Chains A and B, each alone.
Chain A
Amino acid sequence: MPQSPLETAMPVGLDHFKDKQKEALAGWLMASPAILLLLTFLILPFLFAFYFSFTNQRLISPNPTEWVGLRNFSRLLTVRTFSLEPVADPTTGELVRDEKGAFSYPSLRNYTRNNPDYPHLDGLREWRSWNWGNKRVYLLASDVVFMKSLANTLLFVLIVAPLQAGLALILAILINQPLRGINVFRTIYFMPVVISMVVIALLWRFIYDGNNGLLNSLLSLITFGAFEPIDWLGNPNTAMGALIAMSIWQAVGFHMVIWLSGLQTIPSVLYEAASVEGANQRQQFRFITWPGLRNTAVLILIVITIQAFGLFTQINVMTRGGPLDSTQSIVFQAFIRGFEKQDIAGGSAISVLLFIIVLVVSLVQRYLTRERRL
C-alpha cells in the first residue's frame, strides 16, 4: 500500500506494537484457565511425586519427612548376580551329590542375611536362578516384586503393541470393503471400546473361570471333551496371556478406526492404476497401502505403547497381581504402595521410573520412525 508522506512511520509502528502486546495478553488470558487447571491437578501432583520419591514420606507417620536421596530408587533397582559352588566333602574334597545325583549348595540365606563378608548382598532376594556348569547362579534383586512388575509390563507392551496394531489393521482392511451393511460390523467391532474396563474385566472373569468358564466350555466342545479345563487367571503360566487377550479384545476397535481413517486417505486412483498395470493383491498392499499408512502406523504404535504401559484396571479387578506375582504391573505396584500400603515415597519412586521409561521409549520410537530423507 502506498503511504502518503504526511503519515509518519512512528504511530503505525506503535499501534503495531500495542496490537502485539494485546495479542500476547489475550493469548495468555485464553490459555490460562487450562494451564492453571493442568498445573494444579496434573503437573503439581507429578512434581510432588518427584519430590516424594527422594524422601521417606508416608501417609501417616509420627516422624517428620526426611530427605533420603536416591535410596528409594536403589531399593527398587538393585540387581546382582551371585554364584554358589557346590558343597564339597571336607575330608575327601569330593562334591557331595544327593540320591538323584544333583549337587547340593549352601543356603543362599547365609550370604544375604547379615553376612559381614558379603555386605553388598545384604537384604537381596532371589529373583531367578539356574545351573551353570557345577555352579548355581542366582539373579538377586532388592525388590523382587517390582522387578517382576517391570518384566511383566515390558512383556505386555512388547506383545500387545505389535499384535494389537496388526489385528487392528486386518480389521480395518476387512471393514473398508464396499459391502452392504458394513457399518453394522464396524459398529459391533468398536463396541467394547466404549464400555468401562471395570465392566469388561468382571464379564471376562466368567470367560476365564477355571471350572465351567465360557472359554473352557468352548474348548471342551471343540475337542469333544478331550480338553482339560484350565483356571486361566489362577495359573501363573496363563494369567498374563489371558489379560493380554482381553486387553486386545477391548481396545483393538479403537485402533481399527484410526487405521481406517488412514486407509481412506489413500486415493482409489492408485489402486485402479495398479490393477491396470496387473499388480496383484499383495503387491498393491506392499506398494500402495503400506506406504500410504506410514504416518498412521507411527501414531498407532506410539499411542498403543503409552496405553500399554498404563496397564492397571484389568489387574486391579481380575488378578491383583497374582498368581505368584505373574501379573504384577508397574502402575499397579505404584498404586498399591502409594495408596493401600500408604508408602507414598515408594509408590512415587515407581511413578517417576515409569515416567522416565515411557519418555525414553517414546523418544526412541520417534527417532526410529523419523522421516528419512535421502
Chain B
Amino acid sequence: MILKGSSPRTSLFWRYTVLILIALIFIFPIVFMVVSSLKPNLQLLSDTSSLRAFLPVGDISLNNYIDAFKRVPIGLFMFNSLFITAVTLILGIFVNSLAGFSFAILKWPGKMVVLSILIATMIVPFETIAVPLLLIVNKLPMIGAKGFKIGWLDTYHVQIIPFIADAFGIFLFTQFFRDIPRELVEAARIDGASWFQIYRRVFMPIAGPVVATAAILKFLAMYNSYLWPLMVSQSEQYRPVMVGLQYFFQLNVAWGEIMAYLSIITLPVLLFYLWLQRAFIESIASTGVKG
C-alpha cells in the first residue's frame, strides 16, 4: 500500500515520522529498564517524573549489577534456565516432528480422532491444569543421581518432561509434512527405506523452516516460563532465572537491583532474537500462512 502525499519528499518524511513514533512506543520500556539499572534507587524513582528516565545521566554505575549478583546466584539460575530450555527444545523437536510425520504421512487406525483431540487441547490454558499436574508429578517415580524416589518436585525432570510434547508443535510439523510431495515417499519406499529412515533422511533435512519455528516458540515458552518453576522448585538448586525475581521482593525492595536483574535475564532472549530475527519473524509468519 502506498500512501499519497503532496510531494514524494514530504510523504516520505511523514511515513518515517509515523514509523519512528510507533517504534518509540514499543521500545521505551526496554530503554527505561536498561537505563534505570545503572542508577541508584532514589534517583531511579525521582527520574521517572521527567525525560531523565530514559537518559543515562546522574550517578551512573554498575553497582546494581554487583548487588544483584550478591543477592541471587545468577550464574546457577542462568545455567538452569538455559539447560532446561535447551533439553526441552531438542527433545521436543524430535518427539513432535516424529508425531507430525506419523500424522501427515502414515495411515493408521484412529489417527483422525487422536489428531482432533490434540488440537482441542490447545484451548486449555496451562494455569488451569497446573494444580492437577502438580498432584500427578508428585506421585511419579524417578531414578536420579540419589537413586530411586517417588515425586518429581525439585528436579530438572519436572521442568522438562511435561513440556517436551506440545500440540501446537505437532500441528506445525503435520501441516508442513502434508505439503511434501508423496512421490518422495514412494521413491524411498521402492529403495527399501524404512519409515524411520524416510523420516530422518528425507523429511527432516528439508524441514528447516518449521524446525526453526518450533525451536523459537519453545525457547520463548520455556525460558520465559514462571508459574510452573515457581510451584515445583522449592530448593535453590533447580531454580531458573524467572523464579529468581522473587528474591528481590523479599526484605528491602531495591528497584535498581531489580532493573539490573531484569536486564540480565532479558539479555539472552533479546540477543537470540536480534541474532535470529529474520528466522524469528518468518517462523511466526509461517504459522499463519496455512490458515
Interface residues of A (CB under 8 A from B): 20, 22-28, 30-31, 33-35, 37-38, 40-46, 48-49, 52, 171, 173-174, 176-177, 179, 182-183, 185-200, 202-204, 206-207, 209, 212-214, 217, 249, 253-254, 257-262, 264-265, 281, 284-285, 289, 295-296, 298-300, 306, 309-310, 312-313, 316, 331, 334-335, 338-339, 344, 347-348, 350-351, 354-355, 358-359, 362
Contact assessment for B136 and A179 in the assembled complex, using a CB-CB cutoff below 8 Å: no
* Selected contact of A196 from candidates B95, B107, B114, B242, CB within 8 Å: B242
Contact assessment for B199 and A30 in the assembled complex, using a CB-CB cutoff below 8 Å: yes
Q: Interface residues of B: mostly helix, strand, loop or mixed? A: helix
Say whether B143 faces chain A, with CB atoms less than 8 Å apart: no
* Selected contact of A204 from candidates B29, B36, B133, B291, CB within 8 Å: B29
User: Assuming the A-B contacts A23-B108, A261-B289, are A355 and B123 also in contact, with contact meaning beta carbons closer than 8 angstroms in the complex?
Assistant: yes
List 19 additional contacts besides A25-B108, A45-B132, A214-B28; criterion CB under 8 Å: A23-B108, A40-B162, A44-B132, A45-B135, A171-B22, A177-B1, A190-B280, A195-B269, A196-B266, A212-B45, A212-B48, A310-B125, A310-B126, A312-B125, A335-B127, A338-B131, A344-B135, A350-B128, A351-B129
How many residues in B have their beta carbons less than 8 Å from beta carbons of A? 98
* Selected contact of B224 from candidates A26, A190, A196, A335, CB within 8 Å: A196
Residues of A near B50 (CB, < 8 A) are 217
* Selected contact of A198 from candidates B12, B123, B166, B224, CB within 8 Å: B224
Residues of B near A203 (CB, < 8 A) are 29-30, 32-33, 262
Residues of A near B123 (CB, < 8 A) are 306, 355, 358-359, 362
Encode B92-115 as 1/0 by CB contact (under 8 A) with A: 000110110111001111010010
Contact assessment for A43 and B136 in the assembled complex, using a CB-CB cutoff below 8 Å: no
Residues of A near B70 (CB, < 8 A) are none
Residues of B near A355 (CB, < 8 A) are 123-124, 128
Contact assessment for A185 and B23 in the assembled complex, using a CB-CB cutoff below 8 Å: yes
Contact assessment for A339 and B130 in the assembled complex, using a CB-CB cutoff below 8 Å: yes
Interface residues of B (CB under 8 A from A): 1-4, 12, 15-16, 18-19, 22-23, 25-30, 32-33, 36, 45-46, 48-50, 53, 95-96, 98-99, 101-103, 106-109, 111, 114, 117-118, 120-136, 161-167, 170, 194-196, 199, 220, 223-224, 226-227, 231, 242, 245, 258, 262, 265-266, 269-270, 272-274, 277-278, 280-281, 284-289, 291
* Selected contact of A197 from candidates B96, B118, B167, B224, CB within 8 Å: B224
Contact assessment for B266 and A26 in the assembled complex, using a CB-CB cutoff below 8 Å: no
Contact assessment for B106 and A185 in the assembled complex, using a CB-CB cutoff below 8 Å: no
Residues of A near B199 (CB, < 8 A) are 30
Residues of B near A185 (CB, < 8 A) are 19, 22-23
Contact assessment for B99 and A331 in the assembled complex, using a CB-CB cutoff below 8 Å: no
Which residue in chain B gives the minimum CB-CB distance to A171?
Answer: B22
* Selected contact of B161 from candidates A22, A37, A52, CB within 8 Å: A37
Contact assessment for B269 and A43 in the assembled complex, using a CB-CB cutoff below 8 Å: no
* Selected contact of B195 from candidates A26, A197, A258, A338, CB within 8 Å: A26
Contact assessment for B1 and A173 in the assembled complex, using a CB-CB cutoff below 8 Å: yes
Contact assessment for B285 and A46 in the assembled complex, using a CB-CB cutoff below 8 Å: no
A to B CB contacts below 8 Å, 20 in the list: A23-B108, A27-B107, A27-B195, A34-B98, A37-B95, A42-B121, A171-B22, A174-B18, A185-B22, A189-B22, A189-B23, A195-B224, A196-B223, A199-B266, A206-B32, A257-B284, A299-B291, A335-B131, A348-B131, A354-B128
A237 → B minimal CB distance (Å): 23
* Selected contact of A23 from candidates B99, B107, B270, B291, CB within 8 Å: B107
